[in-house]
């Protein structure tokens, strides 16, 4: 390949188009992974809440789940006792509005979700910040400052 080809406007446009396509696919993949992870967290928290209510199991139950899941999936993060408690809190916060909450909160990363539920008093207020985060593509730092 000659230096003149690499410097040509056609080649630069060609490479730019490929870069944009790769970045677009990377973003779509990240969004899909985030949505799948949040669906897993929602389902897991729902099962935890249900089991704790049905069997009157306390936090020792969460500690055991944490240990078992970490042992079963050692390369996967997210199963610490603290994160399981966050999942449960997040599910309980949004479960009163599952049709609204679950669909919208799946569009923002886990860290954003935690910031929003920790700084708002009710799902309506939280929903405002979820929508603003989506509309403005806020980072979790901006979300934390805004709430």
pLDDT average, residue stretch 123-128: 88
Q: Name which of 79, 105, 78, 80 is nearest 91 in CA terms.
A: 105
Per-residue model confidence (pLDDT) at position 50: 92
- Angstrom distances, CA of residue 114 to CA of 51, 83, 109, 141: 23, 10, 9, 12
pLDDT band (50, 70, 90) for residue 1: low
Whether pLDDT at 41 is above 90: yes
**123, 94 contact by CB (below 8 A):** yes
Whether pLDDT at 146 is above 70: no
Q: Domain extents for the chain?
A: 14-146
48-75 burial: b if 16+ Cβ within 10 Å, else e? beeeeeeeeeeeeebeebbeebeeeeee
User: Lowest-confidence range among 1-10, 18-27, 114-123?
Assistant: 1-10
Burial class (CB in 10 A: 0-12, 13-18, 19+), 140: middle
Whether pLDDT at 57 is above 80: no
User: Lowest-confidence range among 21-30, 63-72, 99-108, 116-125?
Assistant: 99-108
Q: How far apart are CA 146 and CA 28, in angstroms?
A: 26
Per-residue model confidence (pLDDT) at position 114: 92
The DSSP symbol for 137 reads T
């Amino acid at each position: 390949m000659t230096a003149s080809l690499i410097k040509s406007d056609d080649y630069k446009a060609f490479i730019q188009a490929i870069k944009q396509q790769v970045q677009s696919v990377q973003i779509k993949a990240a969004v899909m992974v985030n949505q799948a992870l949040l669906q897993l967290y929602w389902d897991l928290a729902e099962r935890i809440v249900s089991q704790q209510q049905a069997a009157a199991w306390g936090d020792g139950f969460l500690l055991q789940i944490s240990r078992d899941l970490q042992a079963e999936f050692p390369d996967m993060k997210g199963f610490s006792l603290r994160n399981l408690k966050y999942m449960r809190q997040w599910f309980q916060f949004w479960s009163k509005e599952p049709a609204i909450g679950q669909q919208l909160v799946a569009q923002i990363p886990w860290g954003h979700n935690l910031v929003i539920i920790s700084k708002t008093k009710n799902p309506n207020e939280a929903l405002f910040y979820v929508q603003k985060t989506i509309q403005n593509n806020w980072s979790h730092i901006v979300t934390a400052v805004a709430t």
